[in-house]
Amino acid sequence: MLKKVLACAVIAALSGCSDMPVNKSEKEVITKNETKQQLTYPETKKGAVVDIYFDEKVADPYRWLEDDMSDETAHWVETQNNTTFSYLDNIPYRDTLKASLEKLMNYEKVTAPFTEGKYTYFYKNDGLQNQYVLFRKLGDGEAEVFLDPNTFSDDGTTSMSGLTFSEDGSLAAYQISEGGSDWRKIIIIDTETKQPIEENLVDVKFSGISWLANEGFYYSSYDKPKGSELSAKTDQHKVYFHKLGTAQSTDELVYGGTDDEKHRYIGASVTRDNRYLLISASVSTSGNKLFIKDLSKPESKLTTILEHTESDTYLLDNDGSKLFLVTNLNAPNKKVVTVDAANPTPDQWQDLIAQTDNVLSMSKGGDYFFAKYMVDAISKVQQFDKSGELVREISLPGVGTARGFSGKKESDTLYYSFANYTTPGSTYSFNVKTGKSEVYRKSGAQFDSEQYTSEQVFYASKDGTKVPMIISYKKDTKLDGKNPTILYGYGGFNASMTPGFSPAIAAWLEQGGVYAVANIRGGGEYGKEWHDAGTQLKKQNVFDDFIAAAEYLNEKKYTSSDYLAVRGGSNGGLLVGAVMTQRPELFKVALPAVGVLDMLRYHTFTAGAGWAYDYGTSEQSKEMFDYLKAYSPVHNVKQGVEYPATLITTGDHDDRVVPAHSYKFAAELQAKGAGANPYLIRIETNAGHGAGTPTSKIIDQYADIYGFTLFNMGIKSL
């Protein structure tokens, strides 16, 4: 999924039919109508590829853009970027937005501390550093740099993730991503010298790192695909054990090597007492099988806990052979059960923390369990002992999202963060014995929360379903229908959109913008049933919920269609692509990011087939094919329709949602879209799906996105 197009030297976007860019003085007096000038797009050639699905022929003229290795695609990317940046460069207040973003991001950020071995570690970013730096200190001594990912590459595009320590803290293993790719390297170091102790492990993907004492660790990967590693299908995940001091080529294949063991996602974890190995195996992003092996008995085999994928179940903790599992099997909102490892099947499970009306997630620390509930997407936290008795409900600093409450068994002090859309995140310490919370580190963000408000509303979707939405804006905002508004959504994969603070969102609010987040179906805000109500043949519910959110914002005069932008990324990019093609008149601006936009072929790239639980596939049945084709954004751009001003964003190294999705969608819009609205694509080079993106690139991206949005709403100056 790639997007690269050629621009005719120049953008006539801001200057009518002129071939010369408009200078700054001319731009400053552009009227609302003058923002709608006809662009000259690079020509994207059409091929003759036709696929046949259940006897129906479907043309795919831009199939050639799927070849991310070709010079032709690279040229297309370059020329499309030339066109897009020529347009963006002429937006008068782009630098103003960039300065605002830099100011809001430029404050020291320090994470909660954690202990490994004899050291206390924490991450810190001085303000505008591209990547967080990992520090450590011994006792009350001075902190020293332990790992600085900013030194891994000149441009900050090599990031670190997945750092774990061996049992005694003397060794550490961490993963690096280069250029945003999901393919990783694992580097193993001595924590005293900070130097590698052996050759790096390579070609690792979608993997954790779980140590077995100090002997070695378990990790996961796929065989390297033939062809492009950024787009070729990866379908059989495998778990390996790496014994320290041995070559990667000799690593033990633990699970996933046979046809019977074939799964798309497999993870391995070792219990904190090093007694048990747990293997989770999934064919899709929802539902997993679960197996256990007693490592104290070298000849023992994997024992099945769950042999089907009808639930999401994982190990929370163990006390000897007593296992504590979190599951949504026959409990859509999740519960905690206990079982003995010797006989761990569901018929032996005993409820410890029962299901409630609210969705549950769990953490552990200080020899307690912490039940974190979502109540209409807002956090509520309770502390339990290991017998399942409620110790206390934890008083949180306000209405928002609390994250954390995890740590080692022997810790008396745990940490958590709290934030919402208008309250920068601060870190709190929590005493597990007394239940007392104290501010550990207050946010240094230069944002005056007192000037802003967030309110939660509930609106009715097309079928009458009640859907929550949180709307944030300046307190003195007049609800006159003229406020620039971004409506954000996701609606898939059981992911919940809970309130949190982002300097990028704060920058939008500071400019007088309204920011609304709709908790639509397909997400996890109300558990498995809410998720399932937005999957496969019910996916249209997701789009209907989002359209209804836009209509609510218009009806209540927060904004109007002339000032409404819609934004989402990944599955949220699909959401934007679907609603803008179904209801183009409802939105002024569309901002699909790294979107899944070709619903007939998404499952043929990288690990995309694993998304079939949510989407179904075009090969599944004629009914499913017809349903997918009816909303697939790439296949629903109509000739002669005026679509919202569109800025598609993606990365040329995105091997999660390959950029060909975005490339094809841009080509369709440019070829068929009517009117003077711009249909542009911004392709970040040497960048992936988003994780690990350098701060400098984040600032540039948001300045472009906000500038494009406001300019196409007719905003002349800030």
Catalytic positions are 570, 689
Give dist(CA 658, CA 608) in Å, integer.
9
What's the confidence (pLDDT) of residue 177?
87
> What DSSP character marks residue 248?
G
Q: 169, 119 in Cβ contact below 8 A?
A: yes
The 3-state DSSP composition of the chain as helix, strand, coil percent (nearest 5) reads: 20, 30, 45
**Which SS3 state, helix, strand or coil, does residue 135 take?**
strand
The sign one gets for the Cα dihedral 23, 38, 708, 482 is positive
- The residues, any chain, with a CB within 8 Å of residue 114's CB and separated by 6 or more, are 120, 121, 122, 407
Could you give the 3-state DSSP secondary structure of residue 613?
helix
Q: Are 1 and 662 in contact (CB under 8 A)?
A: yes
DSSP per position, 475-503:
TT---SS---EEEE----TT--------H
Helix (H) or strand (E) run with residue 95 in it: helix 94-105
* 488 in Cβ contact with 567 (< 8 Å): yes
Instruction: Return the half-sphere exposure (C-beta side, CA atoms, 13 A cut-off) of residue 33.
Output: 0
The neighbour count for residue 370, using CB atoms within 10 Å, is 24
- How does pLDDT run across 383-392, given as a tens digit for each residue? 999 999 999 9
DSSP string, 537-599: GGTHHHHHHHHHHHHHHHHTTS--GGGEEEEEETHHHHHHHHHHHH-GGG-SEEEEES----T
CA distances from 494 to 277, 545, 579 (A): 26, 16, 20
**Which amino acid does the sequence have at 704?**
D
Whether the model clears a pTM of 0.85, i.e. scores above it, the answer is: yes
The alpha carbon of 31 is separated from its chain's Cα centroid by a whole number of angstroms, namely 37
Contact yes or no for 672/142 (Cβ under 8 A) = no
Of the candidates 643, 522, 528, 597, the residue with the CA atom closest to the CA atom of residue 60: 597
pLDDT score, position 687: 60
Identify residue 396 by its one-letter amino acid code. Answer: L
What distance in Å separates the CA atoms of residue 87 and residue 101, rounded to the nearest whole number? Answer: 20
Residue with tokens 């979707």: 461
Which residues partner with 108 through β-bridges? none
Strands 378-384 and 216-222: unpaired
CB contact burial 508-542 (16+ within 10 A = b; e otherwise):
bbbbebbbbbbbbbbbbbbbbebbbbbbbeebbbb
The tens digit of pLDDT for each residue in 381-418 reads: 999 999 999 999 999 999 999 999 999 999 999 999 99
640 phi/psi in degrees, rounded to 5: 85, 5
pLDDT digits (tens, 9 = 90+) for 46-70: 999 999 999 999 999 999 999 988 9
Element (H, E) at 455: strand 452-460
pLDDT at 686: 66
Residue 232 is predicted with a pLDDT of: 57
Non-local (6+) Cβ contacts of 515 within 8 A are 421, 471, 472, 473, 485, 486, 488, 505, 508, 509
* Bridge partners, residue 660, by sequence: none
pLDDT for position 609: 86
- Distance set, CA 58 to CA 46, 65, 277, 381, 629 (Å): 14, 17, 47, 51, 10
Tell the residue number behind the tokens 């995890």, with chain if given.
406
Write out pLDDT tens, residues 303-333.
999 999 999 999 999 999 999 999 999 999 9
Position 161 scores a pLDDT of 85
Give the helix/strand (H/E) hosting 317: strand 313-319
Distance CA 497, CA 522 (A): 11
The ranges of the chain with pLDDT < 70 are 1-38, 227-233, 653-655, 686-692
Count CA atoms closer than 13 A to 317's CA, side-chain side: 19
Handedness of CA 309, 315, 320, 322 (dihedral sign): negative
